A and B are shown apart, each in its own frame.
Chain A
Amino acid sequence: MRLRTALLRAAAGAVCLWPIAVAADSDAMAVIVAVDSRHRVESRDQLAEIYRRRKQFWSDGQRIDPVNLPAADPLRRRFSLAVMGALPEQLEAFWNEMYFHGVLPPQVLKSVEAVLRIVATTPGAIGYIPLCAADKRVAIALAIDSAGAAVDKEPGAVCPH
């Protein structure tokens, strides 16, 4: 009887928690590189350095080629907040300063599919997509949630359409 109660409680708990887990998974972001690339990102700070163009080379000497989504894209805004600690428009002064020194911001691509295509075919490229959108064309260098914390790299949910 006790076992049955425990199993029922566990099942009820799982049912209650399931939507939360799916929501957390669909919020997770995958930082991606080409599938045959050995480039990996060790931390959120390192990722921020890459996206601020302060770190421009991988450890093997390959130039890092970061790509972004448009500034209004909800994923870009979540990524920017999670990794850079600021929204794209709050980084404009920073990019003005970098431009003054001839350093341009990461190239902006139109869509997640475009990021997948470019990252898959450009040596040294790095991008970000919803974790659930990662496919066999790319390798996941780092997976983070909306707070920038590292999460499991395995896509665990189907992307909502």
Chain B
Amino acid sequence: MNRKAKCGIVPRVEPVRPHGRRCAAGLAALLWSVAPVVAADSTGDGGYELGKGWQVPRTDLYLGGYASSDLGKEESQPWSLDVSHLSLFLWWQGDSRFRFFSETDLENAVTVQPRRTSSDGAYLALERLYADWTQSDAVNIRVGKFLTPVGRWNLIHAAPLVWTTSRPLITDTPFPTNATGAMLYGTLTGIGAGLDYSVYGSIGRELRPDPHLDTFNEAYGAHLSYPFLRSLQVGLSFVNFDQVHEPGERQNLVGVDACWSQGGYELSTELGWRFSYDGSKFDAKGGFVQGVAPVGGRFYAVGRYEYFHQPGDEPGVSLWLVGLDYRWSHALILKTEFSKAVDNRLQVPEGFLASVAVLF
């Protein structure tokens, strides 16, 4: 989309030779006369709006991002206050079929605990860095580092977009959340209301791998998502992979996700099964069901049950969560939640969490 012209910013004009002065003068006059009209037509006038990003003047470059801060009081732990995410999006979208997108995330920049403030856990993560080339709505090619298309949560995991501060285990524990490689994706608009698909492959060599994560050594996967009845989105995921820390231990992950939303109510679920080539004792499985309901004004009640069974003979962990959120605006949300685990051999954090998150 040519937002440059619509925001009333005069497009760059190529240098002209002297004999083209009359033409250039005419063009300049035309641009001068058109630009204010176009600017007057637009409500934005090129200005900044929270949660809508900012276009660098006279370019097709956009800046945006999100920030979040968490206050936690886990059971048998002191309280802590984190600046958990300061994430910056930078993308370029011109009129051509080429597009570039990046997201860098400063994680845990500052942590405040009783009598201790530190930035020891700070890490600058490269969440996404890719180039897209578009042939049509149905055929897009992406190369670089992207979010692994498994389930729904991982693809929209930013704090202002999700209802809880904590994240269900099934959405990031059984697979690496990022992949570096190539992806073919698009929307098949000829199929009913439009089938979204992605097929991808990675041969490892993660771009700026997070040292805390066990990244893909090799992965091949696909994700399908289809909207039913306008208010229900259903997805299927599959990925065959092994990871850097266990090369050769091949695994298959199968997932189902669904999200229904209407009138402020939302019901969502993700279920996943990970099967290991090395035998069933290395399998993992889990899922969650989450409900959201408006309770007056901008307040929303949140409830979630999740279950996760890690590889081994130990029983799985069940985690119950209740929360109350205040959605100040589409770009700003305040969240509180309390969670309690049963059979918590995984030592999943449980207790009280609150956070504020803003999309900018």
Measured CB to CB, the residues of A under 8 A from B are 45-46, 49, 54-57, 61, 63, 65, 70, 84-86, 89-90, 92-93, 95-97, 99-102, 104-105, 107-111, 114, 117-118, 122
Contact = CB atoms under 8 A, between A and B. Distances in A.
A80 to B, nearest CB: 12
Contacts of A105: 52
A110 B41 contact: yes
A54 B231 CA distance: 16
B interface, size bucket: 35 or more
A108 B43 contact: yes
Given A54-B189, A92-B330, A63 B1 contact: yes
A104 B194 CA distance: 19
B52 A54 contact: no
Nearest to B92: A102
Given A57-B134, A57-B136, A104 B187 contact: no
A96 B330 contact: yes
Contacts of A114: 40-42
A85 to B, nearest CB: 4
Interface in B119-139: 134, 136-137
Given A54-B189, A96-B160, A102 B43 contact: no
Nearest to A56: B137
B166 interface: no
Scoring A46, A57, A70 by chain B CB atoms within 10 A of each residue's CB, the highest score goes to A57
Contact of A102 (B89, B136, B189): B89
B95 interface: yes
17 contacts: A49-B187, A54-B187, A55-B194, A65-B1, A90-B263, A93-B161, A93-B261, A96-B160, A96-B330, A99-B51, A102-B62, A107-B6, A107-B44, A109-B43, A111-B41, A114-B40, A118-B6
Contacts of B77: none
Nearest to A53: B1
B192 to A, nearest CB: 8
B2 interface: yes
Given A46-B189, A54-B187, A99-B53, A107 B1 contact: yes
Which 7 A/B pairs are nearest by Cβ-Cβ distance?
Answer: A114-B41, A92-B330, A102-B91, A85-B230, A108-B43, A102-B101, A97-B156
B221 to A, nearest CB: 18
Contacts of A99: 51-53, 64, 359
A118 B160 CA distance: 33
Interface of B: 1-3, 5-6, 37-38, 40-44, 51-53, 62, 64, 89, 91, 93, 95, 99, 101, 134, 136-137, 156, 158, 160-161, 187, 189, 193-194, 196, 230-231, 261, 263-264, 330-331, 359
Contacts of A108: 42-44
Contact of B37 (A49, A92, A107, A117): A117
B43 A110 contact: yes
Contacts of B136: 57, 61
Nearest to A65: B1
Contacts of A104: 1, 3, 52-53, 62
B44 A100 contact: no
Nearest to A100: B158
Nearest to A95: B330
Given A54-B189, A107-B1, A114-B42, 10 more contacts: A63-B95, A70-B43, A90-B264, A93-B261, A99-B64, A100-B161, A102-B99, A104-B53, A110-B40, A114-B40
A65 B1 CA distance: 6
Contacts of B137: 54-57
A45 B192 CA distance: 9
Nearest to A118: B41
A87 B41 CA distance: 23
Contacts of B331: 96
Nearest to A113: B41
A74 B86 CA distance: 38
A114 B3 CA distance: 15
Contacts of B40: 110, 114
A100 B153 CA distance: 12
Contacts of A45: 193-194
B44 A118 contact: no
